[in-house]
């Protein structure tokens, strides 16, 4: 879909990367991130984005590092599937981000950066082991079918996915804990946006997949551990989304999903499907 | 014709746009009223012609990737795309699916105008609607066929 010559597209991409990771303590602008995401689809490559990130003096400034991580998260999530593959090759660079700030840093992003790096590496590792998923964990019928045929593999997939969900939950708690009364916290809130979307994608996937497994296997007992974990994650998400819905800046950007008060039944197939 | 309208026709001439591209540009202009039904209908009909189809999609693509200040371009390009998805040729559907990311990434479109009003909401909502339509093959098929039926009925009335 690109109508620009490749030189011009590259120049624009470099500009977008620079602007998305500017030193101002604000949210990285979506228009710049969008341009990067669209680039990965147009050119089926993300190599230039990674090299663009490396030539920016990002590691010298904690805000810039944090914004770069938000950007990395978003392109992994919404970009062309090739970004995930490229991302797996760039784990060393992502790791260096966590070593760039000593302690909590002068503006308090130190531990956020380290936790974000951990989360991203965990996510990438998940995709390494389960390459059939896309970045957003959109529910795709064939995956759930594939895994019910092999219940053991399905069990693994779900339990790994739940670990990722737990990581997201602990990271979002840390983001909330680092809000500062003296600032509008936009830069920190911006990190919550992909977290809300990703956690909801995972939640939807786990729900449909657990339901499918309950329909297919007779061993309801064998799945009891997953059910218990599912229920506790449901309440954690409910709390997370409730807290997000009070952030006016965040609700102006995305609509925060509304979960029912109690976890939906996984065994009874009459329960309404998720929105 | 207002000042902006004059400027647009000069640009149309200077950049050598084709007739159909001029129509798309008019339908997705920065004027504060929506594109007219007749105009969208003409555009949708033209998507059956392969040459026009490419020109239309190219122009819609440009408008979709416009900057925040021109949020009306983006919004109206989504409106036209939505219309063409419903009554345009099958190629529009194929093309839109292949390039779904362009619409999907608009779901987080932001723009605050000079008066401090958030005008991105319209774009976000429309982008959400279209992306969910694109992901739901059954619904898209049904909506397309019901539009065709309605058209046939209307055409029948016309003939009497």
pLDDT tens per residue, range A46-76: 999 999 999 888 888 899 999 999 999 999 9
* Range with lowest mean pLDDT among A3-7, A162-166, A250-254, B28-32: A3-7
pLDDT score recorded for residue B148: 80
Q: Check if the beta carbon of residue B103 is closer than 8 Å to that of residue B57.
A: no
Q: Check if the beta carbon of residue A206 is closer than 8 Å to that of residue A147.
A: no
Whether the per-residue pLDDT at A24 is higher than 50: the answer is yes
pLDDT score recorded for residue A144: 58
Main-chain phi, psi angles of B118, to 5 degrees = -85, 110
Please indicate whether, in this complex, the C-beta atoms of A34 and B108 are within 8 angstroms of each other. Answer: yes
- Across the range A201-216, mean pLDDT stands at 85
Non-local (6+) Cβ contacts of B58 within 8 A are: A3, B21
A44: left (phi over 0), alpha (psi -120 to 50) or beta: left
In chain B, which stretches have pLDDT less than 50?
160
Please indicate whether, in this complex, the C-beta atoms of B65 and A30 are within 8 angstroms of each other. Answer: no
Alpha-carbon distances of B44 from B24, B37, B131, rounded to whole Å: 10, 10, 19
> pTM score > 0.80 for this model?
yes
Whether the per-residue pLDDT at A273 is higher than 50: the answer is yes
By CB neighbour count within 10 A (0-12 exposed, 13-18 middle, 19+ buried), where does A252 fall?
Answer: middle
Q: How many residues does chain B have?
A: 160
pLDDT score recorded for residue A272: 52
Among chain A residues, CA nearest to B62:
A3
Q: Tell me whether A38 touches chain B (CB under 8 Å).
A: yes
Residue A9: how many other CB atoms lie within 10 Å: 18
Interface of A with B in 215-274 (CB under 8 A): 252-254
pLDDT tens per residue, range A169-197: 999 999 999 888 777 889 999 999 999 99
Whether the per-residue pLDDT at A226 is higher than 80: the answer is yes
| SS3 label, residue B129 | helix
Please indicate whether, in this complex, the C-beta atoms of A254 and B110 are within 8 angstroms of each other. Answer: no
Q: Which residue has the higher pLDDT, A275 or B5?
A: B5
CA–CA separation, A244 vs A206, rounded Å?
Answer: 22
Whether the per-residue pLDDT at A4 is higher than 60: the answer is no
pLDDT score recorded for residue B137: 87
Whether the per-residue pLDDT at A1 is higher than 60: the answer is no
Average model confidence (pLDDT) across chain A: 86
Measure CA of the first residue to CA of the last residue in chain A; give whole Å.
31
């Amino acid at each position: 879909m690109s109508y620009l010559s490749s030189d011009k597209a590259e120049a624009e991409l470099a500009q977008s990367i620079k602007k998305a990771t500017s030193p101002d303590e604000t949210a990285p602008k979506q228009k710049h991130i969008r341009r990067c995401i669209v680039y990965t689809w147009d050119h089926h490559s993300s190599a230039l984005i990674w090299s663009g990130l490396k030539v920016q003096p990002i590691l010298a400034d904690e805000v810039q590092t944090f914004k770069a991580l938000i950007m990395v998260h978003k392109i992994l999530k919404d970009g062309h599937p090739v970004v995930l593959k490229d991302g797996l090759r760039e784990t060393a660079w992502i790791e260096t981000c966590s070593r760039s700030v000593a302690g909590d840093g002068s503006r308090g992003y130190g531990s956020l950066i380290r936790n974000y790096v951990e989360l991203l590496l965990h996510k990438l590792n998940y995709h390494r082991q389960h390459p059939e998923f896309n970045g957003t964990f959109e529910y795709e019928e064939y995956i759930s079918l594939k895994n019910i045929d092999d219940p053991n593999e399905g069990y693994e997939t779900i339990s790994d996915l739940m670990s990722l969900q737990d990581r997201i939950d602990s990271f979002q708690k840390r983001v909330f804990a680092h809000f500062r009364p003296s600032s509008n916290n936009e830069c920190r809130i911006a990190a919550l946006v992909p977290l809300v979307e990703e956690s909801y994608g995972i939640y939807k996937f786990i729900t449909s997949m657990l339901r499918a497994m309950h329909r297919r296997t007779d061993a309801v007992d064998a799945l009891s551990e997953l059910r218990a974990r599912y229920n506790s994650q449901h309440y954690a998400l409910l709390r997370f989304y409730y807290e997000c819905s009070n952030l006016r800046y965040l609700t102006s950007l995305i609509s925060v999903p509304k979960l029912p008060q109690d976890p939906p039944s996984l065994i009874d197939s009459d329960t309404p499907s998720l929105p | 014709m207002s000042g902006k309208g004059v400027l647009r026709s000069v640009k149309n001439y200077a950049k050598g746009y084709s007739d159909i591209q001029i129509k798309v540009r008019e339908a997705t202009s920065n004027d504060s009223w929506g594109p007219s039904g007749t105009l969208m209908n003409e555009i949708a009909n033209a998507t059956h012609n392969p040459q026009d189809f490419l020109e239309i999609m190219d122009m819609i693509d440009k408008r979709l990737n416009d900057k925040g200040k021109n949020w009306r371009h983006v919004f109206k390009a989504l409106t036209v795309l939505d219309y063409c998805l419903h009554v345009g040729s099958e190629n529009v559907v194929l093309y839109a699916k292949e390039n779904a990311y362009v619409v999907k990434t608009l779901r987080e479109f932001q723009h605050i105008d000079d008066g401090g009003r958030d005008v991105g909401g319209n774009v976000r909502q429309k982008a959400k609607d279209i992306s969910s339509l694109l992901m739901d093959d059954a619904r898209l098929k049904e909506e397309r066929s019901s539009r065709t039926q309605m058209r046939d009925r209307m055409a029948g009335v016309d003939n009497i």
